[in-house]
Structure formats: structure tokens, C-alpha cells
């Protein structure tokens, strides 16, 4: 079995190699962030320190660790998207294994081995980077090197590898390779009761962590932080589910009423796999949500008498951070589009050969992005601005001006989200031209 | 109607076509046969205006095709040709009827009208029962018949088929060829079918044998069904079944 696994890894195509590298990079980033977060929490400098106060005082330390942990989310989404690259070629190879007599479980193991290997490589890389940065940073600060204990580093590394192997095993579930070497993608299932239960649990954990901050029953502040983090991850899962449902519904509608063939194609392609779009767009949606919420708050303050320069600067910085988050999620989107294109290159090449202009197929890509991104960004913007307006509308200082500002900010933020998705689609039109070459027709 | 003169096409150091000349008449059914790698697919792609030969010419009704730019060739393909490949040509997310309606929609027909026409084509090819299924739910033979329906739906003057039965067992292959040839004759559409299967070639009015990128011989229906397949001098050893 191991020999077969090694053979499969050696026979990878350039595209699969790129996929492997991207996955390792994502795993490395996640490991780095997690190690640094754990490090922040685990070491102590007991004496008060004038330059290291951020790390010796409790609250800022907790906050910094939490931020780092939350940054793992985009890194994970990115890694997951990367893992889905080149699925078509990989599935064909796995199907060939089935043809050679491997059991379904064994082919899944091979898939898991490939992902696990990349997670291990990336994890090691991230661990080493964490070490190097820490040593350099702490040396320059004080000459103390409060390294993360080896035990914790191993725990983080093991977690990263385990998650990799687990997702590799899970990914195999969607591919049904018959013993005759035919590959069929199982139809994605709708949400089940278990999923909703998990989301409910997420809400509970999140709320418990927040409300019980000071007097959390287990682990004190660490327990509360852990509860909030786990709750946030489960909530994110819930958001993906909701986005999946929303995107699927919009695509179904668009497909039913479409008059243009480009729209029909785009809608059906989105409808067939709304979950992939939801995954890629959830981070975009969150960015739009926070962008609109912050915008509504900015309106509240801009039109109030207590406006100060430092507040303006603070808000500008927040906007900048949001923009950065949007760029990260756009990268995940780009990976998703590339994957979707690879899946369609043969049928698209045949369409091009029978006289469908490449520009029309390019429009299919942008319309997919529009169909999927518009509802997510719209809902996120309305929710973000709405929450702030509803909770602060009766406060003094609210005026029609404030309201208009919040509404315009929400519209602009949603627009930027949709624009990012459409821009990514436009960029992948170049890849499309490559996919339409007549060579794609030659397999026959 | 469609003619090629002295086509030459190379890929790096491989010469795929080395001076191929042939002619397809209105409504004629022609098989291009020859061993694997003899340049059949490349010849088909040149004839269909998918790729351009390095030298030689392709004419449709006397009008040069190979000198046209990409846009003009795309339009010409859309208006005159239908194409069927061995596999993987249907969009997996669309139902069979939507797949067939697609080229009609691209030709700016309305949604209702296109669906209705698509359904009637599926009926003619005996796959009406599959109309609302997706390609993943169809058998190989059904897939190919849907693909044939899609190629025929726009009312092309020529249908190009590259190994249309290559992925099928002999019974399904026979059904697909019966449907393809039958509907082509009914609608007076010319058919160019590339194959290395003698049984498929037997459906044709005329068989053109390629070898090493050149025409090695031609035979008409009577001769090829009688088994003395090839009239050309260099293909007398019956390479056809490579
Ligand atoms: N895009 C291409 N790149 C490189 N070589 C090619 C390409 N297309 C065709 N060839 C070569 O040209 C020759 C003829 O190919 P093809 O027309 O596909 O043959 P057939 O369809 O008769 O099997 C073969 O040697 C093939 O390897
Ligand atoms: Mg061929």
C-alpha cells in the first residue's frame, strides 16, 4: 500500500504539484499562526516589563492570541480550496487504482496520504518559521527566548496533519469510482439535522464564552477563549451552510428564467455545486458584513460632535484590515474558479469547436461569479448595517445624514465584494483561453 | 461542397498531415479510416475549421475557410457544422434537453422554442426518456445519442464525428451509428465520420483511408462492404483495422 502511495505521489502532473505546494503553504501559514497564538498564551514573564506589556498583561495577550487564531480561518479556507485543485486528474488516477483492484477504502487512503503528506511538510515548515521568527524577535527585544514548549508544538503539528488526513478521507467520499474505472461525482447532499445541531452548539459556545468571560466554569479565561474560538468555527460552518442554501436557491431561480445561454450555463454550474461557492464566498461575505457594520458605526461617529483624529485613523486602519481580508478571500476564490474551469475544459472545448465564441464562454465565468456573489454580499451588507442601525438608532446623534452614510457605505461595501468576485472571474478568462485549445479535443 | 487541397500540418517534429486532398459532397456520408496516429483527427479538425493547416486550402462552397480569422471561423462553424466526439462533450451540469438546446440558444432562439426543438430531436434519436436527466445519469450509448441530437439541432450542413462509437460496446455503437446515419440521411446532412472500426466505416457512401498523414486510398460503398476494402496501392495490406 505504501509503495502504491509513493508511486502515486511521484507520478503527479505539474498542476497537481502546484496544488501540493499551495496546500503546504496554507498548512504552513496555519501552523505558524497557531504556534504563535499558543506561544503567546503559554509563556509567562512575571515581572512587569515596559516594552513587553502587550504580552505580560492578560487582556491584550488574550486578544492577540484570539486574533491570530481567527486568522487561521482564511488560511484554512485557502488550504481547502487548494486541496480541491486538479481534482479531475486526481480522480482519474484514483479510478485507475480501482480498476487495478484497490478497494474504495484503499483509494480513499491514498487520497488521504497525499493530503496528509502535504500537511506534514507545511506543518514542519510553519513550525520552523515560527521558531525562526520568535528567536529573532525575542532576541532583538530582550535577549529572552520564551519558546513554545516542544509538547505544544507537537500538538499543533499533529492537529494540522490530522485535519489534513481527515479532510483527505472526507474528500474521497464525494467521488464514487466504480471498479470499471469510471468516476462519478455524488450529488452533494443537503444539510442534515446533525449540521444544524452543530451550528446550534456553536451559538451556545460562542455566547457562553462571551458572557462568562471572567467566571468561566472551566479553565478561566483560557476556557472562555477556547469556547469562543470553537463556537466561532462552528458558526462559520453554519454560515457556509446558509450561504450554500442561498446561492443554490438564487442559481435555481436564475437557471429557470434564463434567456441567454451564458446565464443558463452559469446558473446550472453554480447550482450543481453551491457549496464550493459558499465556501469561497463566506470569507468575502464576512468581510462585507464587518465592513458595513463598521461603516454604520463610522456614520454614527462622523456626524456626532465627538469626532477626533485618532478615531478617524482607527477606522481607516480597520478598513485597511478589511481590504486585506478581502484580498485573501479573493485568492481562495481564484483557486475555486481555476478548479471549476479544469472540470469543464473538455465540454467547453467541444462547445468552442462547435462554434460558441470564447467570449461567450468567458461571460459564463463572470455570470457564475455574479449569481453566487451578489446574494451573499447583499445579505451580508444588509445584516451588517442593519445590526448597528437597530442597536444604536435610538441613541442621540442619529440623523438622516448618519442613516444615509450607513446605507451608502453598505452598498459600496457589497459592491466591492461582488466586484472582487467578478474581477477574479475576469482574470480566469485567461486560463479559459488555454482550456479551449483544440488539443483538449484530442483525447478522442 | 466541402473540399480540402494538399493539407499540411505539423506538430513540432511530427508531421500529422502531409498533403491530404479530399472532397465531401452535399448530403454525402464519408468515413475517414486509418491506423491510430495516421492524422484522421487532425484532418477532421482542419476540415471543420477548428485548426488551420500550415499550407493547403479548405473551401466550403468554393469559399476559403482556412484563411478566415478566429471569429469568422467560429461563426462559420456555428452556422454550418455540428461536431460529435468520442466522450465528455456534454456539459455535466445541464440536463440532456438543456444540452441539446444550448447551441440553439447561442443562435439567439428563445428558451421555449429551443427546448421544444431539443425535445423533438431527443425523440427522433430515441432518447426522449432521458430529456431531464444529467449526463452523469446516462449510459454511454444514450450520451452519444444526446450528443448527436445536439449536433443536429442547429440544422448543420455537415456533421463531423470523431470516433463517435469509440467508447461503446458493439450493440450500443450500432444503435448510435444507425441513429446518426439515419437522421443525417433524412435531413440531407453530410456526415464525415472518423473511425478505425470497419463496421462503422461500412455505413459510409465512401471510405477514405489515411496512412502517415496522406490519403492511401478511397473506396465506394459496394467495395467496402464487400470486404475488399481499399482500392489504393499502398493500403492493399488492409491496415484499416489498426
Ligand atoms: N496537438 C498535438 N501536439 C502534438 N502532436 C500532435 C498533436 N495533434 C496530433 N499530433 C500528432 O499527429 C499525429 C496524428 O494525430 P491524429 O490526427 O490525432 O491521429 P489519429 O486521429 O489518426 O489517431 C500523431 O502522431 C499525433 O501524435
Ligand atoms: Mg484520433
pLDDT, tens only, B186-197: 989 999 999 988
More reliable by pLDDT, B144 or A1: B144
Element (DSSP H or E) covering residue B31: strand B29-33
CATH class of B2-231: alpha beta
- For cell 507520478, what's the residue? A11
Identify the residues whose C-beta falls under 6 Å from ligand 1: A 439, 442; B 11, 14, 16, 34, 36-42
In total, chain A counts a number of residues equal to 444
What digits encode the pLDDT tens for the residues A228-260?
Answer: 778 877 887 888 889 999 999 999 999 999 989
Average pLDDT score, chain A = 78
CB contact, 8 Å: A184 with chain B? yes
What digits encode the pLDDT tens for the residues A125-176?
Answer: 998 988 888 777 776 666 555 666 677 788 888 988 888 888 777 766 665 5
DSSP state of A145: -
Q: Confirm whether the ipTM is greater than 0.90.
A: no
- Which range, of A30-39, A57-66, A71-80, B205-214, averages the lowest pLDDT? A57-66
How much distance in Å is there from the Cα of B122 to the middle of ligand 2? 27
Ligand closest to Cα of B39 equals 1
Give pLDDT, residue B24: 94
A58-83 and A14-42 helices cross at what angle (nearest 10)? 170
Using a CB-CB distance cutoff of 8 angstroms, which residues of chain A are in contact with residue B88? 346-347, 350, 443-444
Kindly list the distances between the CA atom of residue A64 and the CA atoms of A27, A41, A133, A409, in Å, as whole numbers in the listed order. Answer: 20, 9, 17, 28
Give pLDDT, residue A444: 43
- Concatenated DSSP letters of A290-318: HHHHHHHHHHHHHTSTT--HHHHHHHHHH
Instruction: Looking at the complex, report in whole angstroms how far the Cα of residue B231 sits from the nearest Cα belonging to chain A.
Output: 27
Q: How far apart are CA A64 and CA A59, in angstroms?
A: 9
DSSP state of A286: H
Q: How far apart are CA A47 and CA A52, in angstroms?
A: 10
How much distance in Å is there from the Cα of B36 to the middle of ligand 2? 7
Residue ranges per domain, chain B? 2-231
Give the sign of the dihedral formed by CA A350, CA A353, CA A356, CA A361: positive
Give pLDDT, residue B233: 41
More reliable by pLDDT, A229 or B104: B104
In which band, very low, low, confident or very high, does the pLDDT at A5 lie, cut at 50, 70 and 90? low
Segment B198-220 mean pLDDT: 90
Task: Look at residue B126 and tell me whether its pLDDT is greater than 60.
Answer: yes
Residue ranges per domain, chain A? 1-187, 190-444
Segment A383-397 mean pLDDT: 76
pTM of the model: 0.74
Amino acid at each position: 500500500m505504501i509503495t502504491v502511495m509513493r508511486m502515486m505521489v511521484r507520478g503527479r502532473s505539474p498542476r497537481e504539484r502546484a496544488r501540493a505546494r499551495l496546500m503546504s503553504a496554507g498548512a504552513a501559514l496555519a501552523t505558524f499562526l497557531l504556534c504563535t497564538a499558543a506561544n503567546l498564551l503559554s509563556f509567562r514573564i512575571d515581572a512587569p516589563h515596559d516594552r513587553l506589556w502587550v504580552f505580560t498583561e492578560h487582556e491584550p495577550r488574550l486578544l492577540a492570541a484570539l486574533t491570530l487564531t481567527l486568522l487561521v480561518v482564511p488560511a484554512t479556507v485557502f488550504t481547502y480550496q487548494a486541496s480541491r485543485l486538479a481534482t479531475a486528474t486526481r480522480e482519474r488516477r484514483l479510478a485507475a487504482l480501482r480498476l487495478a483492484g484497490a478497494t474504495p477504502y484503499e483509494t480513499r487512503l491514498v487520497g488521504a496520504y497525499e493530503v496528509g503528506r502535504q500537511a506534514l511538510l507545511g506543518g514542519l515548515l510553519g513550525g520552523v518559521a515560527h521558531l525562526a521568527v520568535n528567536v529573532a524577535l525575542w532576541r532583538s527585544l530582550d535577549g529572552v527566548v520564551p519558546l513554545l514548549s516542544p509538547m505544544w508544538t507537537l500538538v499543533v503539528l499533529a492537529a494540522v496533519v490530522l485535519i489534513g488526513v481527515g479532510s483527505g478521507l472526507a474528500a474521497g467520499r464525494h467521488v464514487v469510482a466504480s471498479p470499471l474505472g469510471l468516476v462519478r461525482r455524488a450529488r452533494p447532499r443537503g444539510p442534515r439535522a446533525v449540521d444544524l445541531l452543530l451550528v446550534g452548539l456553536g451559538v451556545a459556545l460562542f455566547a457562553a464564552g462571551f458572557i462568562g468571560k471572567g467566571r468561566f466554569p472551566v479553565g478561566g479565561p483560557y476556557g472562555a477563549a477556547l469556547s469562543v474560538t470553537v463556537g466561532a468555527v462552528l458558526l462559520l460552518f453554519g454560515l457556509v451552510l446558509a450561504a450554500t442554501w442561498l446561492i443554490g436557491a438564487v442559481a435555481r431561480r436564475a437557471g429557470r428564467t434564463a434567456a441567454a445561454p451564458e446565464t443558463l450555463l452559469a446558473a446550472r454550474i453554480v447550482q450543481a455545486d453551491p457549496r464550493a461557492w459558499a465556501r469561497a464566498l463566506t470569507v468575502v461575505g464576512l468581510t462585507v458584513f464587518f465592513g458595513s457594520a463598521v461603516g454604520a458605526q463610522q456614520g454614527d461617529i462622523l456626524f456626532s460632535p465627538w469626532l477626533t483624529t485618532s478615531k478617524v485613523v482607527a477606522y481607516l486602519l480597520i478598513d485597511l484590515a478589511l481590504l486585506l481580508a478581502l484580498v485573501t478571500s479573493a485568492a481562495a476564490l481564484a483557486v475555486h474558479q481555476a478548479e471549476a474551469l479544469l472540470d469543464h475544459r473538455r465540454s467547453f472545448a467541444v462547445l468552442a469547436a462547435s462554434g460558441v465564441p470564447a467570449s461567450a464562454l468567458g461571460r459564463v465565468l463572470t455570470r457564475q461569479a455574479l449569481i453566487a456573489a451578489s446574494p451573499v454580499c447583499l445579505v451580508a451588507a444588509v445584516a451588517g448595517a442593519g445590526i448597528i442601525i437597530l442597536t444604536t438608532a435610538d441613541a442621540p446623534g442619529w440623523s438622516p445624514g448618519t442613516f444615509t452614510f450607513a446605507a451608502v457605505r453598505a452598498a459600496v461595501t457589497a459592491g466591492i465584494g461582488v466586484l472582487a468576485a467578478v474581477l477574479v472571474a475576469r482574470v480566469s478568462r485567461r486560463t479559459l483561453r488555454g482550456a479551449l485549445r483544440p488539443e483538449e479535443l484530442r483525447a478522442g | 461542397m466541402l473540399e480540402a487541397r494538399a493539407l499540411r500540418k505539423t506538430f513540432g517534429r511530427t508531421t500529422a498531415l502531409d498533403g491530404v486532398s479530399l472532397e465531401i459532397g452535399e448530403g454525402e456520408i464519408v468515413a475517414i479510416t486509418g491506423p491510430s496516429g495516421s492524422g484522421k483527427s487532425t484532418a477532421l479538425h482542419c476540415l471543420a475549421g477548428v485548426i488551420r493547416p500550415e499550407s493547403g486550402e479548405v473551401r466550403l462552397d468554393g469559399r476559403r475557410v482556412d484563411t478566415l480569422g478566429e471569429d469568422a471561423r467560429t461563426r462559420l462553424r456555428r452556422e454550418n457544422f455540428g461536431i460529435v466526439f468520442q466522450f465528455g462533450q456534454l456539459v455535466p451540469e445541464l440536463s440532456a434537453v438543456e444540452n441539446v438546446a444550448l447551441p440553439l440558444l447561442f443562435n439567439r432562439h428563445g428558451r421555449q422554442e429551443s427546448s421544444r426543438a431539443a425535445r423533438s430531436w431527443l425523440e427522433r434519436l430515441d432518447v426522449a426518456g432521458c430529456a431531464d436527466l444529467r449526463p452523469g445519469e446516462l449510459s454511454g450509448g444514450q450520451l452519444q445519442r444526446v450528443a448527436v441530437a445536439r449536433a443536429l439541432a442547429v440544422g448543420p450542413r455537415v456533421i463531423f464525428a470523431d470516433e463517435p462509437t469509440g467508447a461503446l460496446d458493439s450493440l450500443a455503437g450500432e444503435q448510435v451509428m444507425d441513429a446518426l446515419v439515419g437522421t443525417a440521411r433524412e435531413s440531407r446532412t453530410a456526415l464525415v465520420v472518423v473511425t478505425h472500426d470497419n463496421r462503422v466505416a461500412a455505413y459510409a457512401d465512401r471510405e477514405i483511408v489515411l496512412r502517415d498523414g496522406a490519403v492511401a486510398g478511397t473506396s465506394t460503398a459496394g467495395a467496402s462492404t464487400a470486404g475488399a476494402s481499399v482500392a489504393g496501392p499502398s493500403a492493399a495490406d488492409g491496415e484499416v483495422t489498426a
